[in-house]
C-alpha cells in the first residue's frame, strides 16, 4: 500500500490507513445490496441513480447531511466542463451530455442554475447549492436508492483481494454494509486507501491548493459589471489593486481571482483565497491537522478579500459575506493507481479513445502559487479511458470522481464537475455489466461501457 507519510504529507502522527475486516466480522449488517456507492457528490449521485434505474439494489452513504460533495459542501458552485474553449467570437458550445445534462437541466428547471458565464476562453454556470441538494434528493428518491446520510466508511470487508462491502460508523454505532460491487465516489479514494491499494498524491506529494469559496450579498450588480466586466476572471486592474493592498500588509495571497453572478439578485460567489500552511508548504487536506489549518485560515482570508472588494470594486461598497463553504474547497487528494492512466500528453493532444467514457474540454487548471495556471484546449476536447476508473489491484471495486488514475496536470483538467457526473455514470454502467455478465471490472471493455452510455444520452 501507499502510506500518507511517504508522499509528502505533514502528519504529526502516523495514521493507520488500511482497515480490512473479514466478511464474517461480528457486526450488525445494515444492508446487503448489489451496489454500494460511497460518497454523494456529483459522481456518487450519478452512479447511484443509474445503477438503481438499471434494476439493481443500491445503497449510497454520505458523511454529511446532504449530497453535493465539493460542489455543495465546498461551495465550488459552478458547473465546469460543459463547454468548448475557443478564441472565436462564438456562443457557448456544449459538448458533454448524458447524466451531466440530466442534472444540468433539472437544476435549470428548478431555478438553480445561471446562464453560461464567460470564464476566460470558455464558459461555466453557477448553481444554487440548496437547489443542488434538492435535485440530488429527488433523483435518488425517484430511482429507489437507499440513502444513508451522516454515515462514514471506516473499514472494508474483503476476502483476500475481493471487496465484499464496508464497515461504517454513525452516531448509532458501527455496522457493515455488504455489497456485490462497490463504487468509491468519495473523491478521496477512501475505500481504495483502506483496502491497501496503491495511490499517489499530486506532484511528488504536492497537491493543488484548497480554496475557501464565499458569497457576498447586497451588491449593485449593474455598477459591479460596469467596472469588473462580464468575464468572471478578474481584469488586470483588479489584480493590480490586490498586489498594492498585499504590499501594504493585507492577507491577499492570490492576485488572480474569479467572481461569478449567482441565481440570487445582488449576490456574487467569489473564488479568491489560496490556502497554504503557515510555513508556506502545500497543505495535505487528508491530514485533519492540515485540514483544520485550511479551514481557519480560509475564513480569515475570506474577510480580507471581502474587505478588498468593498473598498476597491464599485457596486460592492455595502456588500457583506453571506456564507462560506461548509468545508474548504478540495481540488485534489489521493489519485488511484489504475489499470490505465490519463497522461498529460493525452490532454495536450486532445486524444480521442475507442474506450473513452467522457469528453473533457476543460483547461489544465493548476492552483499553486499566487495565480492559477491555465492551459486552454481550444476548439477541442479529449476523452478519458474507462480503465482510469479501475484500481490496478482488487476486485469488485471501481472509482468515480476526482480520484481517477491520472498524471498531475491531466487531473487538473479532468477533475471538474461535469466530468465527475459522467465518471459516476460510467462506473454504474460498468457495475451493472459486471453483475449481469459475472465479469470483473478489469475485464470489461471500455467500448461496451461507452455503447450503453451513448444510449443513455452521453456524447461520445
- Looking at residue 6, its pLDDT comes to 37
pLDDT at 452 over 60: yes
316 and 361 inside one domain = no
Determine, yes or no, domain membership for 391. Answer: yes
Q: How many percent of the chain have pLDDT more than 70?
A: 94
**Domain for residue 66, yes or no?**
yes
Shared-domain flag, residues 197 and 291 = no
Residue 86 has what pLDDT? Answer: 97
Mean of all residue pLDDT scores within the chain: 92
pLDDT tops 50 at residue 399: yes
Residues in the chain, overall count: 460
Tell me which DSSP letter residue 14 carries: P
- Residues 395 and 163: their CA atoms lie apart, in Å, by 6
pLDDT digits (tens, 9 = 90+) for 426-448: 999 999 999 999 999 999 999 99
Q: Which residues are paired to 373 by β-bridges? A: 366
Which pLDDT score is estimated for 12? 41
User: Which residues partner with 177 through β-bridges?
Assistant: 31, 166
239 and 299 together in one domain: yes
What ranges in 332-416 are assigned the alpha helix state H?
344-348, 408-414
Which cell is 70 given?
Answer: 465539493
| Band (10; pLDDT cuts 50, 70, 90) | very low
- Asked if residue 215 has pLDDT above 60, the reply is yes
**Domain C-terminal end among 324, 357, 384:** 324
**Would you say residue 377 lies in a domain?**
yes
Model confidence at 207, pLDDT cuts 50, 70, 90, reads: low
- Condensed to tens digits (0 to 9), the pLDDT of residues 154-206 reads 999 999 999 999 999 999 999 999 999 999 999 999 999 999 999 987 767 66
Domain presence at residue 188? yes
Residue 121 covered by a domain: no
The whole-number average pLDDT for the span 71-88 is: 95
Residues 422 and 439 in one domain: yes
Q: How far apart are CA 267 and CA 269, in angstroms?
A: 7
198 and 69 part of one domain: yes
- Cα distances (angstroms) measured from residue 58 to each of 25, 61, 191, 350, 387: 22, 10, 17, 35, 23
Residue 137 has pLDDT above 50, yes or no: yes
Q: Are residues 100 and 139 in the same domain?
A: yes
Q: Is residue 209 part of a domain?
A: no
- Do 249 and 100 reside in the same domain of the chain? no
Identify the band that residue 371 occupies on the pLDDT scale cut at 50, 70 and 90.
low
**Do 116 and 129 meet the contact criterion of CB atoms below 8 Å apart?**
no
> Do 174 and 193 sit in the same domain of this protein?
yes
Q: Which residue has the higher pLDDT, 208 or 28?
A: 28
User: For residue 248, what are the domain limits?
Assistant: 214-324
pLDDT exceeds cutoff 50 at 2: no
In a domain, 168, yes or no: yes
**Statement: the pTM of the whole predicted model exceeds 0.75:** yes
Task: Looking at the structure, tell me whether residues 320 and 361 fall in a common domain.
Answer: no
**Do residues 257 and 237 lie in contact, with contact meaning Cβ atoms separated by under 8 Å?**
no
Q: 426 and 405, same structural domain?
A: yes
**Residue 111 falls inside a structural domain:** yes
Give the residue from 307, 324, 341 where a domain finishes: 324
Q: Tell me the H-state helices in 214-287.
A: 221-228, 236-247
* 258-275 residues labelled b (16+ CB within 10 A) or e (exposed): bbbbbbeebbbbbbbbbb
What pLDDT score does 283 carry? 76
Residues 71 and 192 in one domain: yes
Least confident of 184-198, 272-286, 377-391: 272-286
Q: Domain tally for the chain? A: 2
User: Residue 4: pLDDT above 80?
Assistant: no
Instruction: Supply the CATH number for residue 397's domain.
Output: 3.50.50.60
Q: Residue 376 above 80 pLDDT? A: yes
pLDDT value of residue 329: 75
Same domain membership, residue 287 and residue 140:
no
Residue-by-residue DSSP string for 281-347: PPP-TTSHHHHHHHHHHHHHHHHHHHHHHHHHSTT-TT-EEEEE-SSPBP---EEE-BSS-B-HHHH
DSSP letter for each residue of 129-143: HHHHHHHHHHHHHHH
The per-residue pLDDT for 164 is: 98
Of 306, 191, 166, the C-alpha closest to 250 is: 306
- Residue at a domain's end among 324, 355, 386: 324
Please determine, for residue 275, whether its predicted confidence score (pLDDT) is greater than 90.
no
**Which of 208-217, 319-328, 422-431 comes out lowest in average pLDDT?**
208-217
Cα–Cα distance measured from residue 284 to residue 4, given in angstroms and rounded to the nearest whole number: 9
Q: DSSP label at 246?
A: H
Q: Please state, in angstroms and rounded to a whole number, the distance separating the CA atoms of residues 333 and 76.
A: 16
Arithmetic mean of pLDDT, 231-246: 97
Amino acid at each position: 500500500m501507499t502510506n500518507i507519510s511517504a508522499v509528502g504529507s505533514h502528519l504529526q502522527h502516523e495514521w493507520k490507513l488500511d482497515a480490512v475486516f473479514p466478511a464474517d466480522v461480528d457486526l450488525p449488517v445494515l444492508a446487503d445490496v448489489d451496489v454500494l456507492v460511497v460518497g454523494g457528490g456529483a459522481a456518487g449521485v450519478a452512479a447511484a441513480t443509474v445503477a438503481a434505474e438499471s434494476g439493481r439494489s443500491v445503497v449510497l452513504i454520505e458523511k454529511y447531511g446532504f449530497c453535493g460533495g465539493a460542489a455543495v459542501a465546498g461551495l465550488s458552485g459552478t458547473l465546469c466542463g460543459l463547454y468548448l474553449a475557443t478564441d472565436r467570437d462564438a456562443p457557448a458550445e456544449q459538448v458533454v451530455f448524458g447524466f451531466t445534462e440530466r442534472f444540468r437541466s433539472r437544476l435549470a428547471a428548478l431555478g438553480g442554475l445561471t446562464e453560461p458565464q464567460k470564464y476566460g476562453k470558455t464558459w461555466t454556470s453557477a448553481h444554487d447549492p440548496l437547489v443542488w441538494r434538492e435535485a440530488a434528493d429527488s433523483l435518488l428518491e425517484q430511482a429507489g436508492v437507499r440513502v444513508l446520510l451522516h454515515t462514514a466508511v471506516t473499514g472494508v470487508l474483503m476476502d483476500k483481494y475481493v471487496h465484499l462491502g464496508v464497515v461504517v460508523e454513525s452516531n448509532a454505532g458501527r455496522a457493515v454494509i455488504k455489497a456485490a460491487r462497490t463504487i468509491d465516489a468519495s473523491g478521496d479514494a477512501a475505500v481504495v486507501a483502506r483496502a491497501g491499494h496503491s495511490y499517489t498524491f499530486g506532484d511528488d506529494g504536492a497537491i493543488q491548493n484548497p480554496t475557501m469559496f464565499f458569497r457576498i450579498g447586497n451588491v449593485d450588480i449593474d455598477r459591479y459589471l460596469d467596472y469588473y466586466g462580464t468575464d468572471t476572471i478578474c481584469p488586470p486592474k483588479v489584480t493590480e489593486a490586490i498586489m498594492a493592498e498585499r504590499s501594504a500588509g493585507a492577507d491577499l495571497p492570490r492576485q488572480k481571482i474569479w467572481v461569478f453572478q449567482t441565481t440570487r439578485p445582488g449576490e456574487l460567489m467569489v473564488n479568491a483565497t489560496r490556502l497554504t500552511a503557515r510555513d508556506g508548504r502545500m497543505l495535505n487536506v487528508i491530514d485533519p491537522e492540515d485540514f483544520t489549518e485550511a479551514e481557519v485560515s480560509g475564513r480569515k482570508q475570506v474577510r480580507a478579500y471581502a474587505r478588498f472588494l468593498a473598498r476597491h470594486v464599485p457596486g460592492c461598497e455595502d456588500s457583506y459575506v453571506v456564507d462560506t463553504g461548509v468545508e474548504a474547497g478540495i481540488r485534489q487528494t489521493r489519485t488511484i493507481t489504475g489499470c490505465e492512466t490519463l497522461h498529460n500528453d493525452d490532454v495536450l493532444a486532445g486524444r480521442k479513445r475507442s474506450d473513452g467514457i467522457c469528453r473533457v474540454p476543460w483547461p489544465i487548471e493548476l492552483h499553486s502559487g499566487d495565480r492559477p495556471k491555465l492551459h486552454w484546449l481550444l476548439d477541442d476536447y479529449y476523452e478519458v479511458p474507462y480503465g482510469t476508473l479501475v484500481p490496478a489491484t482488487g476486485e469488485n471495486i471501481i472509482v468515480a470522481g476526482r480520484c481517477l488514475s491520472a498524471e498531475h496536470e491531466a487531473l487538473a483538467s479532468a477533475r471538474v464537475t461535469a466530468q465527475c457526473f459522467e465518471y459516476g455514470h460510467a462506473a454504474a454502467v460498468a457495475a451493472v455489466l459486471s453483475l449481469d455478465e459475472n465479469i470483473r471490472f478489469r475485464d470489461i471493455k471500455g467500448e461496451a461501457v461507452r455503447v450503453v452510455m451513448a444510449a443513455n444520452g452521453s456524447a461520445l
